[in-house]
Structure 1
């Protein structure tokens, strides 16, 4: 059996020690990210996934927004400082991809295909997973690390204002990426017998 995709998937890990020692240009990275999202599958080919790619000051601005927003959510100053340390780790990365779902498209397909209306948001989430996995794996293939964060919906309003995001785009995840400064830990798996069934 060919295992090229599997081997690439094994490279895609949650890397938290990220830096800015990146040789690819912003244009090259943007093209890689956009192409992987474009080729990821979506139900009915409805292409609900949207992305905002942040580099430089814009990347740092996002994580400043997260840090400021979480101050009102964390109960103590000590806990906030620990949270801020974590956020600053994301800020130390090279860039971030913000993933969105275009809810206008979701609602249009709900109306146009009423028989399947209850499924279209779930299917858009599956499309998100496909796009995020594809981008993350492509970055890993090119020697870059990443980790996926979900500070939505806490930051939605601030992000919308800061980056001129359309109201119909729903924020789903933030993928920060950069050079790998320390490897991921050992990955553990549950028993196959608890996870899979195979019938012949």
Structure 2
């Protein structure tokens, strides 16, 4: 359903209960990503965001990699909970979107504008966050549920090798998505008078 911008933002939530199905086509999912990449702003118009869409066996492979990596790093007891979360939620979805920032672009800007050298990596994170929000909101507006995960940097090298990606691409976040099977619970919103100040 097409909501106005404010309503779309209001309805964007984290969904952990998703299935391996989609109410829209793969082409429409790609169109959502393309739209965000073309229209979301970036500092100095850097256009440093890179996106990888994983569907089918590629989506499943990502979460196999994540489990294999974590199994080597945590205790067997802790891994049980991790495995249950991945199998029952993240890997159970229809696909995963990987968000990257191209460090080559960031480094070039650092060389060109040394005054802002330390700021460009921060601004790149902000650029990525805007892409994440835009895509997340549009996916939900199209009837999909998603969540945002951060298994980077633990899986970075293996992901780069698996899909033969540019090693200068820095993995920022992973967004598994699919058709929701349950509504999220109520969302706690802290008082606005502690978070927004107005001076006239």
> Shorter-chain TM-score: which interval?
over 0.9
Q: What's 1:179 paired with?
A: 179
Q: What's 2:38 paired with?
A: 38
Paired with 2:189 and 2:175, the residues of 1 have a C-alpha distance of 23
Q: What's 1:58 paired with?
A: 58
Paired with 2:143 and 2:24, the residues of 1 have a C-alpha distance of 10
Q: What's 2:92 paired with?
A: 92
Paired with 1:15 and 1:92, the residues of 2 have a C-alpha distance of 12
Unpaired stretches in structure 2, ≥5 consecutive residues: none
Greater displacement, 23-32 / 142-151: 23-32
Q: What's 2:128 paired with?
A: 128
| Aligned residues of 1:101 and 1:169 also touching (Cα < 8 A) | yes
| Aligned residues of 1:37 and 1:135 also touching (Cα < 8 A) | no
Paired with 1:63 and 1:94, the residues of 2 have a C-alpha distance of 12
| Aligned residues of 2:23 and 2:142 also touching (Cα < 8 A) | no
Paired with 1:13 and 1:38, the residues of 2 have a C-alpha distance of 24
1:15 aligned counterpart, secondary structure: coil
Paired with 2:99 and 2:192, the residues of 1 have a C-alpha distance of 31
Greater displacement, 17-26 / 5-14: 17-26
The TM-score, its normalising length taken from structure 2, stands at 0.95
1:62 Cα deviation from its structure 2 partner: 0.1
Unpaired stretches in structure 1, ≥5 consecutive residues: none
Q: How many residues align?
A: 197
Offset from partner CA, 1:8-32 (integer Å, 9 cap, x none):
0111100000112313221221121
Q: Name the Cα RMSD after superposition.
A: 1.2
2:139 aligned counterpart, secondary structure: helix
